[in-house]
């Protein structure tokens, strides 16, 4: 994912390029973490697959919010210099879709992840829902 990020910098990226890059970065990391958690918990294969999809959706949500924050947050809230993606001509969802469409994208991915977490119920479902809301509404 990082190699794709570097390769796309300075070039005109399409939505699919950005989504693929995100999937290979944060999406892959969260998906494998969720799957490993499901394995340790003794989940059946169907639940493991749901955990992977939850992680992918959560990763897409995280990256969309990250792209939004780079454009909308101030340095004090963000904890880093905002606007770096645009300054470095990095591919982002905001650059490809615009602010409002990227917000909708983040919300749609969050809802996909919530739907999966609700199926689990109990402490796993509750924790899954909390993680979705935390990442969707984060400010840094």
Domain borders along the chain are: 2-136
Q: What is the pLDDT of residue 36?
A: 97
Model pTM?
0.90
Give tens-digit pLDDT for 44-71.
999 999 999 999 999 999 999 999 999 9
- Relative orientation angle of helices 99-120 and 45-72, to the nearest 10 degrees: 150
Q: Report residue 79's pLDDT band, with 50, 70 and 90 as the boundaries.
A: confident
CATH 3.10.20.90 fits 2-136, yes or no: no
How high does pLDDT run on average in the chain? 91
- For 89, residues 6+ apart whose C-beta sits below 8 A from its C-beta are 9, 10
**How many CA atoms, within 13 angstroms, populate the side-chain half-sphere of residue 44?**
2
Q: What is the pLDDT of residue 1?
A: 59
């Amino acid at each position: 994912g990082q190699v794709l990020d570097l390769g796309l910098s300075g070039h005109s990226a399409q939505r699919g390029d950005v989504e693929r890059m995100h999937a290979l970065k944060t999406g892959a990391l969260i998906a494998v973490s969720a799957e490993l958690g499901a394995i340790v918990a003794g989940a059946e294969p169907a639940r493991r697959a749901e955990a992977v999809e939850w992680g992918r959706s959560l990763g897409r949500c995280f990256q969309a919010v990250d792209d939004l924050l780079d454009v909308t947050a101030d340095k004090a809230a963000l904890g880093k210099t905002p606007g770096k993606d645009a300054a470095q001509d990095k591919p982002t969802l905001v650059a490809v879709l615009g602010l409002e469409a990227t917000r909708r994208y983040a919300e749609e991915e969050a809802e996909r992840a919530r739907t999966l977490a609700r199926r689990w119920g109990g402490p796993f479902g509750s924790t899954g829902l909390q993680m979705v809301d935390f990442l969707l509404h984060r400010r840094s």
